[in-house]
Amino acid sequence: MLDVTLGLAGEAGEPSLRAKALAAATKEPDRAERGRLLGLLAESPEPSAVKAQLPLILTDTFETRESMRFLWAASGDFRTRATAFEFLQTNWERLLPRLPKDAGAGLVWMAGGVCSEAERDAARAFFDGRSTRSLGGPRNFALAMEGIDLCIAWRARHRDSVTSFFEKRKADVPVVAPK
């Protein structure tokens, strides 16, 4: 329950809570407790907060294995995915030596949530020749690109019917004005 509660608190994005959590995490000796605090920080939906904490991955403030959750969480959220991808592109050469051998093969999965041709093409251009240099990289790359292609095809196949469904029901949904 604690992890869920902290995740929700992180999602709320309260700056003072985030600052307290970061300060507490830097002093926390217990890995599990520190992980919970880092989990709160990783849940931020705000690109500016994500942009501020991603550089921690390249410092010795936390072990890279722990701070990588910032990058993984950001890449998995449509609101912060572009920020994560930009950080990864800019810092690939600095990041790779901080990770276990051949970890670069798995970094292509940071593109796993994209579902447009433009995003796919950007991911393909970046990861091909980078993540594919690591053991298992070519297979991960092929699977990730296939997954993106399937998402694009699924979206194209169902776009009209989903749009039609919601257009028909738009009049049925009451509009609630914010307080």
Q: pLDDT tens digits, residue range 134-179?
A: 999 999 999 999 999 999 999 999 999 988 888 888 777 776 766 6
Residues in the chain: 179
Q: pLDDT tens digits, residue range 95-145?
A: 999 999 999 999 999 998 899 999 999 999 999 999 999 999 999 999 999
Please tell me whether residues 12 and 31 are part of one structural domain.
yes
Half-sphere exposure (CA, 13 Å, Cβ side) for 67? Answer: 20
Please tell me whether residues 85 and 143 are part of one structural domain.
no
Please tell me whether residues 3 and 51 are part of one structural domain.
yes
Does some domain include residue 108? yes
Location of structure tokens 């592109």: 89
Please tell me whether residues 117 and 151 are part of one structural domain.
yes
Please tell me whether residues 62 and 108 are part of one structural domain.
no
Contact 70, 44 (CB under 8 A): no
Please tell me whether residues 137 and 84 are part of one structural domain.
no
Please tell me whether residues 22 and 70 are part of one structural domain.
yes
Rounded to 5 degrees, what are φ and ψ at 166? -75, -35
Q: Which of 38, 68, 99 is the last residue of a domain?
A: 99
SS3 content of the chain, % helix, strand, coil (to 5): 75, 0, 25
Please tell me whether residues 121 and 138 are part of one structural domain.
yes
Contact 136, 144 (CB under 8 A): no
This prediction has a pTM of 0.85
Which range marks the domain in which residue 121 is found?
Answer: 100-169
Contact 34, 69 (CB under 8 A): no
Please tell me whether residues 2 and 85 are part of one structural domain.
yes
